[in-house]
Structures are given as C-alpha cells and as structure tokens.
Chain A
C-alpha cells in the first residue's frame, strides 16, 4: 500500500470530486442564507401573535364601552383578519423554508459524502503497538477519567442545589405551619427610613428626617457634602436606599441607570438598558419631558427603571441585571413620564395612553422578582403623566391612580377596582397624595379635589369633601404635613396654602419670574422648593408665609429631591448634589 492520492490531476474521478465540492459549497452557502432568513422570520413570527396584539385587545375593550358601534366592529373584523393572515403568512414562510432547507441539506450531505468518497485515500494503519504496558496505561487513564467525570457531576449537582433557592425542603407542606420565611420585600419601617420611589414613601414628598440643612452654598461648598456630574441627562428624580442613590439618564440611542455612593458621591456603576425589542428614539417625546422622565423605584434589594420607549429593567444593588423587557412604546403625546411603584414584591406600571376611546391605557402588575406580568388591568382613561401610590386607608391598602378623566382606586392585592371619581381634565401630571384622611388630586385643566376615600363605584357626587379651582398646578404634585396642604403652579410660581381638612385657602405667595417643575417637599417642618432656573427656597410650613432661605444651585432643577438621614439629594441639569449639614 502507499499513501499517494488516488485522484490524480486530470482524472475523471478528480473532476467529479471537484464538481461535488462545488455543489457542496453552493448548497452550503444557500443553507446558511436560508437559516439566517428563517431565524429573522422566526423572530418576526414571535412578535406577530394575533392574540397578543395590544391594538386589537384595546379595540375589543372599547367595544365593551360602546357595544353598538358598528364601525368599531368592522374595524375589529378587518384588523383581526389582517393579523391572522400576517401570522399565517409568516408561518407558511417558515414551514416552506424548513422544507427547502431540508431538501438543500440532503443535496449538501450527499455532495459532501460523494466528495469524501471520491477523495478517499487507501487506509494505511500503523504497525501494532508492542508496548506491554499499553493496556494498563489505557485502563488507568480510563479509570481516572471516570473518577474525574463522577466528581464533576457531583460538583455540578451540588452547585445546582445551592443555586436553586430557596431549598425545596422549606417549601414542603409539612412546614406550612412552621417558621415563616422572611418576605421578599421591605417592611413599612424600612420604607419610611428610605426614599424608594418618586417623592419618597407613599409619594407624599415628606421626609422622615428633620435634620436637613436650612441653607447651603454651592459656590463655597457650605453644607454641600458632594456634587457629582451625571453622565446623561433626564427629568427623573433621585431615589435612595441605605448608602445608595439611583438615577436614570438617556439620550437618543442610549438609556442608562446610575448608582452613586450616598456617602462620597462616587459613581459606583452604570448599566445600559436595552432589552430585546427595544426601540431607540421614540416618537412624540416632548423636549420638556425628555428621554428619561420616569423616576426609578427600589424595594431595597432590586432597582427598577423604565424609559419612554417602554424599556423596563431590574438590577440588583451590585449592578447585575435581574431581568429586562420592552413593554412597547406607549402612545403618549408628550412622552411617557409616569414613575414606577413597588409594593409587596410587585412592580406596578401605570401606562396611560391615547384617548379614552382608544382603550390603550393599562395598569400592569408585574412580579418584581421576574418581571412576569401578573395582571393587566385596562383603564378607560386618556394618556397621563401621574405616578400612582398605595395608601393605607382605614386598615386596607388602596392603589390610587389618576388619569383623564378618572381617579380610580384598586385593591393592589388582586387588582380589583374599589371606587372611582370623575374629577380630572386633560394633561394630568400632578400625582395624588393622601393626608388628613383625604386623597388629594389636582390638575390645571380641572380642579384641586379632596376625596373622602371609601364607597364603591362612581363616588364623584358623594365623596368629594372640598375642591378649589384657582392657581392650579399643571405639573407639580401637592404636599401636606397633615394639617396644611400646599400646591405650587409651574408657570407663574404661585405657592398656595390650604387647610387640608376644610379646603380653606390660608395664604398664597407668587414667586415672580420663577417657574417650577420640581414638586415641593417637606422635611422638619420646612418646605423645600427648587425652581427651573436653580433657585432653592426654604420656608416654614406654617399658617403664615415665612421664607427662611433662598439659594442658587448654579444650574437648572427640574426634579424633586430625595431625603435620607441628614441628607438631601438634588438632581440638577448636570450634577447630583448631596446637601448635608453634618459634613463639608
């Protein structure tokens, strides 16, 4: 035997082999192209599920409201047919691609096999080994490899068990009556001591701490603990938990979440948010709203962030992404700005869109740990920019939402609607608060309302304790110390003080040439206001107007401050400030 090529140049065998190789190359390239096309088609098919079309679901919801609308019925039929046709078309394409791929693969395999056979060399085995130790050596290596694999499997199983949490034994029904494990969400006391969401605990804008400085000086550094530039801008406010402060920022093609050290101001980590299906540069985002208006939320273990393009993500405090998803770009005329809310292991997303007839608005209740949607509650309201809040009212917890035209409350445990009131007008932005036993809602286009919580169904005519129609804020949310209620208009800068229980107007103060986006906050019996041009005003929360200090921040302020023990965090257009009396 010899090792020479049996397909010498010019022989028909060689020519056939070359032909087979050529066929194999062509069919291989076609197969790869087909696989790529099928992959793209598969992704499109996944997104084109007719049952999951929000538009169709919205139209069906609208049909419940207007059952006699023949035009709507026709539209539903047409859309339904179009969606099904599109879905079937994609499925047919995928199946056809599969058949085509199968056929081409057969040609590919046959041509490769033929080329291999035509180019096969005669076998040339080596001489047998005469090493007397060979068998022992192979057996020894085999034994060691078996032992190594066994050890690897054992370690893998142990790692799997350790990573599966919690231990299955704790969940045996036999343990039901035993010790109850700690819940996966913070206690009310922990929430009270931190600033987990837009305007802090309960969305009230009231700090649990009184030791916040009355005055400071950005230029000299007096009572400024630190000041750190924020990489990307955004209208969202800081949230703070323990020794961490969180912000979000965005530009057209980049959305980020930031974590700062509350002690030093050091930027600890930056994480990009880009889940599958994410779209850059959503349309209809107003410049005043910006590309990162919603404030983050935290439950002390995880941080949650949402952006106007529908990107939603969760990170742990070390910056590791827990989950992310895209909810679809909300149909919102100024851009989505509602902040997130966490409650008992759930993440609540209020997504009010379009007009009430569009029936696009939804309240989503997600599992905070996984991001899985637990409930989708449809809302017959137009687009809004308010942030919901859960209040403990008479021993029951109620989720209060504000949209156009309804204030609607739900049982956050099961999403059941409890009562609603038709009190709001278009372009609702100020968020609701609960104080002095009343729910306060306001919008510039309607009125300031104090609602006695309770009742069922529509309580518009029965549960409004008082209302006011002058100097109504369009953006800033109200704040109350339990006795007095304050509202602040965005244009004209009118701060109005009411008696919370009765609605009696006690005083008002107009800040000439100042406009406000930042909602007023209360700490230690003092009101903290930040104007759009960066003027900070501190005044007493009292039945008489008394200004305590007025400072310049050196840059515009559009967000509301966050508070921790002895510290106030303020986001400017460029920097994040920590104002603290304890250190310089």
Chain B
C-alpha cells in the first residue's frame, strides 16, 4: 500500500512538470462558441507489444547467428541499421532492456508494483542470449549502440589503464539507478537517456501510425516535444562518440555492466579466427573498443611469488573496499533520500512549519498540493522515515556493490593469465564483427585458402 502511495506521488508530481506545458481550457463566454469534441486516439494495440518482443527475439537470434556462424561484418551492420530504425526511430527507444532494469528493481523492492511480463521478457531475453551466445545484443540489436557506431568517425585508442577506470562508472550508474528505482524515487535511466531526443527528432512510429489511420500526426508537427537539455547532452555525447568508440556502452551503460558480467560466463563467444592466429595485429587495429587482448609474456619464478603476494593483498583490499564503500554510501543516506519526492515534501512541510521556509500558495507548489489533500502530516513524516530507512539499507548494498566491483577489478588485474594468441576479451567484446572482418586467416578460411604463419601471405 505504502509503495503504491510512493509511486502515485512520484507520478503525480512528475506529471505536473508536463502539465505546465499544456494549454488551459479556453475561457468560455456566452458567445455561441462551442468547444471542439476532445479526440481520443486509440491506444496502441496490446498485440503490438508481442510483435516488439518477437522482433527482439528474432533480431537477437539473427545477430547471434551472424556473429558466431555467418561471420560477416556487412550483415551485422545491416541488422544493426534495421534495429536502429525499428527500435530507435519507429519505437522511440521504448523497447529498452536498459530502462527495464528499473522496472525489475521496483518489482523486487516495491511490493505494490506489478511488473508487466513483456517488460520482464525484454529485460531477461538479452541476458539469456548473452549467457548462451555472447553480447550479440550490444553488437547489432541495441539502437543506442547503433547510434554511437554510426557517429564513430575517427576512433582514438583509450589507454588500457583509463579504460579500466572509466568502466567503473557504468557500475556506479547501475547501482544508483537500482537504488533510486527500488526506493520509488526516480527513474534516472529513462530521465537522462540522451538518445531518446534523437529518436524523437524523427518519430517514424508516429508517422506510420498516422498514415495507417489515414490521417495526420495527432496534434500536428508542433506536438513533437524535445528537451533542449537532453539535446545538448546528446550533442556532447555524439561529439565524444565520434572519437571514442561506443563511449556510452563502455563507460556508462548500466545494462552493459550486467551484460559484461554475463558475457564472462557465456557458453559461446566471438572468436577472431577459428584457425591459428598469425599475430598480425590487424584485429587489434580494427577493434575500436579496446576489447582485443594481446598474447601474454612468460614470467620467471620470482615474479610468480611476487604476483601471489600481490593477489593476496588485493583480495584483502577488495573485502575492505566492499565494507568501506558500503559504509561511505550509508553516510550519504540523508542526501540521497532527497531524490525522493516524498522525502523532499516532508522536509519542505517541516521547514514551513518551523518558519524556516516561506509557504507558497502556488497550486503547482508540492507543499500547497499536499495541504489541499488534507493528508495528516504525521503520515507524511512516517512515510518519509520509511523511505529513509530503505535508503539506508539500499545505500549499504549499493555502496558495497560498487566496492565489490572495484575490488573485483583490482583482483582480476592481479591475476596472471596465459594467452597464446590475440583474443577478444569475454567481458568487453561487443560482438560487432570488426575483428574477424579484418583477420586474414578468416578471409582465407572463407575463400578456402591457407595463409603463411610467418608472412601472412596466401600460400
């Protein structure tokens, strides 16, 4: 019940933001003016959501086939463009496993929230595909990734150490998004998704819908709403993505952070060449995402002893970091809790009651809205306290998770692996197919020829 109240409050307060942009009902006079009948466009047919789901499954299956079996970059690229058009411009970026993270978090932590099965499927299916067949979703299906690929003009190589550090941001974003969704505070992934602005610039879905009904776009062209702030954010991101391959996917995407973990456990994955690697480094040159790992060097006995000591130290540090980050995040609870509208409202009312802030009679002011509902203030305070308690627990978990990720990375960096050939990193590889498209062994395999392991020339 309480969870429902929180969601309702968030929705009511959020809709107020949009309500400001709408026109008031025209003042009526005794002039014979008759108000036009309100048009109610039909809701989108419920069947269409299963069509979306079908398209998602089909494209994921096709993408997996293209990366693992057919192994043609042009085919992957073509599929990527189709997904960009369909999931991006036609569906407005709304068939979105990234945003579905929040719905799942709400379903788990907010008792009254019912998760639609379609949304659950949209969240789970790419994860299952990744666990089985690698990150085909990122490589060819995700419209956000496709936008970045389209704008990638002059890729620069991000140093390995910086790549490791920036990759942490995605986990922090994931932890923050889950914490805020689980407390019913905000859906930040959707709110700050810059790519949606781009998709709204060309709302193909609306046009198709209007054409199939034989009419014009409802509300005319002026009904298209574009957030200027998100457009600016999009512009900045596009400029970054011109030089840094898939910057959002690698350093920010919260779903990518989950997929990275799943991909490490996947049964099958992209291989650069099924044949023997000739170490020509063309795959490393072709990959713009820093996902190709070089063959390792051999180490002496002394180094191995030192390495073990370092590893032990990092394991201990990881444990300490997990606790410290959880504790540190818990200290931020009072400030994080202010992201919740209910907590902000309680604080506002309390400040007004204690003459620390002036009251407003603006009907859009949350305090005034609350007063008009005649809800007991004690109930508001109780709800706010409850949310703050949830934030306290959530902050410990979110902080601990971030600490664990940092610690895990430190441990992983201290583990020495043996690699004989150039390989795509299981976690970082986005299954775009650039590496095998450039691999001479792969080219030769397709043509049924062999390549010299010493010169790289056809034999």
Q: Are B414 and A139 in contact (CB under 8 A)?
A: yes
Which of B20, B201, B286, B406 meets A102, CB within 8 Å? B201
B224 sits at the interface (CB 8 A): yes
Q: Are B299 and A167 in contact (CB under 8 A)?
A: no
Interface residues in B162-193 by Cβ distance below 8 A to A read 162, 164-166, 168, 172
User: A42 contacts which chain B residues (CB < 8 A)?
Assistant: 228
B5 sits at the interface (CB 8 A): no
Of the candidate stretches A88-96, A532-540, A550-558, the one touching chain B is A88-96
Q: Are A144 and B360 in contact (CB under 8 A)?
A: no
A149 sits at the interface (CB 8 A): yes
CB closest chain-B residue, reference A110: B150
B328 sits at the interface (CB 8 A): yes
Decide yes or no: A145 and B165 within 8 Å by CB, A125-B282, A135-B296 being known contacts: yes
Interface residues in A121-175 by Cβ distance below 8 A to B read 123, 125-126, 128-136, 138-139, 141-150, 153-154, 157, 160-161, 164, 167-169, 171-174
User: B416 contacts which chain A residues (CB < 8 A)?
Assistant: 135
Q: Are B406 and A146 in contact (CB under 8 A)?
A: yes
Q: Are B221 and A95 in contact (CB under 8 A)?
A: yes
B369 sits at the interface (CB 8 A): no
Number of interface residues of B (CB under 8 A): 83
Q: Are A132 and B161 in contact (CB under 8 A)?
A: no
Interface residues in A89-111 by Cβ distance below 8 A to B read 91-92, 94-96, 98-99, 101-103, 109
Which of B159, B221, B228, B297 meets A132, CB within 8 Å? B297
Which of B202, B222, B354, B410 meets A180, CB within 8 Å? B354
B72 sits at the interface (CB 8 A): no
Measured in the bound complex, the distance between the Cα atoms of B28 and A80 in whole Å is 12
Number of interface residues of A (CB under 8 A): 78
Q: Are B154 and A116 in contact (CB under 8 A)?
A: yes
Q: Are B23 and A344 in contact (CB under 8 A)?
A: no
Q: Are A134 and B222 in contact (CB under 8 A)?
A: no
A374 sits at the interface (CB 8 A): yes
B346 sits at the interface (CB 8 A): yes
B160 sits at the interface (CB 8 A): yes
Shortest CB distance B104–A (Å): 25
Per-position 1/0 for B222-242, Cβ under 8 A of A: 111010100000000000000
Measured in the bound complex, the distance between the Cα atoms of B44 and A349 in whole Å is 50
Measured in the bound complex, the distance between the Cα atoms of B332 and A167 in whole Å is 10
Measured in the bound complex, the distance between the Cα atoms of B332 and A120 in whole Å is 51
Measured in the bound complex, the distance between the Cα atoms of B352 and A345 in whole Å is 11
Measured in the bound complex, the distance between the Cα atoms of B303 and A529 in whole Å is 92
Of the candidate stretches B136-144, B258-266, B334-342, the one touching chain A is B334-342
Measured in the bound complex, the distance between the Cα atoms of B151 and A372 in whole Å is 41
Q: Are B346 and A173 in contact (CB under 8 A)?
A: yes
B26 sits at the interface (CB 8 A): yes
Q: Are B224 and A141 in contact (CB under 8 A)?
A: no
CB closest chain-A residue, reference B26: A80
Q: Are B413 and A142 in contact (CB under 8 A)?
A: yes
Measured in the bound complex, the distance between the Cα atoms of B406 and A186 in whole Å is 49
A30 sits at the interface (CB 8 A): no
Shortest CB distance A445–B (Å): 34
User: A176 contacts which chain B residues (CB < 8 A)?
Assistant: 350, 353-354, 381
Decide yes or no: A99 and B281 within 8 Å by CB, A132-B299, A141-B160, A414-B361 being known contacts: no
A367 sits at the interface (CB 8 A): yes
Interface residues in B233-284 by Cβ distance below 8 A to A read 279-282, 284
CB closest chain-B residue, reference A130: B297
A184 sits at the interface (CB 8 A): yes
B294 sits at the interface (CB 8 A): yes
Shortest CB distance A496–B (Å): 40
User: A346 contacts which chain B residues (CB < 8 A)?
Assistant: 358
Q: Are A77 and B29 in contact (CB under 8 A)?
A: yes
Shortest CB distance A195–B (Å): 24
| Total A-B residue contacts, Cβ distance less than 8 Å | 178
Measured in the bound complex, the distance between the Cα atoms of B150 and A180 in whole Å is 58
Q: Are A50 and B23 in contact (CB under 8 A)?
A: yes
Q: Are B153 and A161 in contact (CB under 8 A)?
A: no
B131 sits at the interface (CB 8 A): no
Q: Are B224 and A95 in contact (CB under 8 A)?
A: yes
Q: Are B164 and A375 in contact (CB under 8 A)?
A: no
Measured in the bound complex, the distance between the Cα atoms of B21 and A350 in whole Å is 28
Per-position 1/0 for B67-86, Cβ under 8 A of A: 00000000000000000000
A76 sits at the interface (CB 8 A): yes
CB closest chain-A residue, reference B166: A149
B298 sits at the interface (CB 8 A): yes
User: B388 contacts which chain A residues (CB < 8 A)?
Assistant: 172
Which of A98, A112, A413, A414 meets B224, CB within 8 Å? A98
B27 sits at the interface (CB 8 A): yes
B351 sits at the interface (CB 8 A): yes
CB closest chain-B residue, reference A413: B359
Measured in the bound complex, the distance between the Cα atoms of B318 and A349 in whole Å is 58
User: B211 contacts which chain A residues (CB < 8 A)?
Assistant: none
A51 sits at the interface (CB 8 A): yes
Measured in the bound complex, the distance between the Cα atoms of B222 and A374 in whole Å is 32
Q: Are A92 and B221 in contact (CB under 8 A)?
A: yes
Shortest CB distance A491–B (Å): 41
A183 sits at the interface (CB 8 A): yes
Shortest CB distance B276–A (Å): 15
Measured in the bound complex, the distance between the Cα atoms of B365 and A415 in whole Å is 16
Which of A92, A168, A344 meets B334, CB within 8 Å? A168
User: A150 contacts which chain B residues (CB < 8 A)?
Assistant: 168, 321, 406
Decide yes or no: A91 and B222 within 8 Å by CB, A171-B350, A172-B385 being known contacts: yes
Q: Are A367 and B297 in contact (CB under 8 A)?
A: no
Which of B226, B285, B355 meets A123, CB within 8 Å? B285
Q: Are A181 and B23 in contact (CB under 8 A)?
A: no
User: A184 contacts which chain B residues (CB < 8 A)?
Assistant: 356
A365 sits at the interface (CB 8 A): yes
Q: Are B150 and A138 in contact (CB under 8 A)?
A: no
Which of B150, B172, B333, B362 meets A153, CB within 8 Å? B172
Measured in the bound complex, the distance between the Cα atoms of B361 and A346 in whole Å is 14
Which of B20, B228, B329, B409 meets A146, CB within 8 Å? B409
Per-position 1/0 for A278-317, Cβ under 8 A of B: 0000000000000000000000000000000000000000
Shortest CB distance B38–A (Å): 17
Provide a sorted-by-A list of 12 A–B residue pairs whose CB atoms are within 8 angstroms. Answer: A80-B26, A96-B221, A102-B202, A109-B150, A123-B438, A125-B282, A141-B161, A145-B164, A146-B168, A164-B335, A169-B334, A181-B354
Q: What is the interface of chain A, defined by CB distance below 8 A to chain B?
A: 42, 50-51, 60, 73, 76-77, 80, 84, 88, 91-92, 94-96, 98-99, 101-103, 109, 112-113, 116, 123, 125-126, 128-136, 138-139, 141-150, 153-154, 157, 160-161, 164, 167-169, 171-174, 176, 180-181, 183-184, 344-346, 365, 367, 372-375, 413-415
Sample of 10 further A-B pairs with CB below 8 A, known A51-B23, A135-B416, A176-B350:
A42-B228, A50-B23, A80-B26, A128-B294, A129-B294, A144-B161, A157-B328, A157-B329, A181-B354, A345-B356
